[in-house]
C-alpha cells in the first residue's frame, strides 16, 4: 500500500502504451471524465465515448482549452441501445484508424439506490440495461482494440469495476454481479495473453463523489473523481488489481482481514444506511413537489 499510494511514482505511460491515443468510455461524468483530463495532462490524445453529444462537446472543449496541444475526438454511442457486434462495427473501424495506446473501459450504470431485487423501481426494464452496459462494451471494445496492441507488443487496458464486484453486497445484486464479471474478465485476459506487452489492470473503487454515487461532499474515504483518477492512474504498471485510491484500499483490505461474517455484517449495515438515506432524500424531494 505504501509503495502504491505514498511513494513517488514516475511511470511513463506514453512509453508503456506506445500509442498516442487513449479511449475513455463513459467519459462525460465522474471517473470517466476525470480519467480523460488526467490522461490528457499526461500527453495522450483522447477519444471520448458517451451517449450525449452535447456533454461530449463540453468535455472536448474543456480539455482542449486546458491542454491546447492535445487532440480530442468524440463518439456519441448509447451502449444500452446496441447489443450486436455489427452495431459496434462503424465505431471499431473509426477507432482502429488510430494508434490506440490505452483503453479505459469505464462506462457503467446502476440503481438510483440499493434495494432488494424485487423492490428496484422499474427493475424489469432496468436490469437488462445494467447487464448490457456493464458487461458488453468492456468485452467488445477489448476484443476490437487489443489486436493492434498485441501487434505493437504494447498497450494498456484499464477495466473499471467496483468494490461491489469484489464482495457480494446485499441490495446491489444485479449491479454487483456485473462488476464481478469485469474483474473475472480482466483476470482471464491476463492468463490468456501473458507476455504480449499489454498491461491489463482492473480497478475496484468504493464510493466516489459522482452522479452515480449521489455523493457530493468529498472526504478521505469518498474522494472526488479528480483525486481518485490521479491516484488510480499512478498505479498503472505497478499492480494488476487495485482499489485505485488509498482510502478505498484501506476499506478493501480491512474487509479481507476480518472474519467473513463480520465483514458481511459491517458491509451490509453500510449498504442499508445508504438505502435509508436515499429513501429519506426521495421522500423530501417528493414532499417538495
Q: Give me the active site residues, please.
A: 175
Choose among 215, 236, 233: nearest CA to 224.
215
Q: Sheet of 241-242: strands edge to edge?
A: 72-76, 45-50, 21-25, 100-105, 155-160, 198-203, 241-242
- Provide the Cα torsion 153, 158, 159, 161; round to 10°: 150
Query: Phi/psi of residue 235, each to 5°?
Result: -90, -10
Q: Cα separations (Å) of 107 from 97, 111, 187, 286?
A: 22, 14, 19, 30
Amino acid at each position: 500500500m505504501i509503495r502504491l499510494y505514498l511513494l513517488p511514482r514516475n511511470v511513463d505511460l506514453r512509453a508503456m502504451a506506445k500509442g498516442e491515443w487513449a479511449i475513455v468510455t463513459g467519459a462525460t461524468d465522474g471517473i470517466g471524465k476525470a480519467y480523460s483530463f488526467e490522461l490528457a495532462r499526461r500527453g495522450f490524445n483522447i477519444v471520448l465515448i458517451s451517449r450525449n453529444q452535447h456533454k461530449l462537446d463540453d468535455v472536448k472543449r474543456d480539455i482542449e482549452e486546458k491542454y491546447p496541444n492535445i487532440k480530442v475526438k468524440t463518439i456519441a454511442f448509447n451502449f444500452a441501445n446496441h447489443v450486436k457486434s455489427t452495431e459496434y462495427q462503424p465505431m471499431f473501424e473509426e477507432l482502429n484508424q488510430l494508434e490506440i495506446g490505452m483503453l479505459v473501459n469505464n462506462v457503467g450504470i446502476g440503481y438510483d439506490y440499493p434495494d432488494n431485487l424485487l423492490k428496484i423501481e422499474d427493475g424489469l426494464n432496468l436490469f437488462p440495461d445494467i447487464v448490457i452496459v456493464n458487461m458488453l462494451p468492456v468485452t467488445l471494445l477489448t476484443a476490437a482494440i487489443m489486436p493492434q496492441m498485441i501487434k505493437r507488443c504494447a498497450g494498456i487496458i484499464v477495466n473499471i469495476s467496483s468494490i461491489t464486484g469484489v464482495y457480494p453486497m446485499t441490495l446491489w445484486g444485479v449491479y454487483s454481479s456485473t462488476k464481478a464479471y469485469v474483474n473475472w474478465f480482466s483476470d482471464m485476459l491476463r492468463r490468456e495473453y501473458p507476455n504480449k506487452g499489454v498491461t491489463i489492470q482492473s480497478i475496484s473503487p468504493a464510493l466516489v463523489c459522482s452522479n452515480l454515487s449521489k455523493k457530493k461532499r468529498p472526504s478521505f474515504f469518498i474522494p472526488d473523481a479528480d483525486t481518485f483518477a490521479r491516484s488510480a492512474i499512478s498505479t498503472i504498471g505497478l499492480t494488476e488489481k487495485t482499489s485505485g485510491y488509498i482510502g478505498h484500499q484501506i476499506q478493501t483490505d480491512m474487509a479481507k482481514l476480518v472474519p467473513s461474517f463480520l465483514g458481511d455484517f459491517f458491509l451490509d449495515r453500510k449498504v442499508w444506511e445508504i438505502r435509508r438515506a436515499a429513501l429519506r432524500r426521495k421522500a423530501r424531494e417528493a414532499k417538495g413537489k
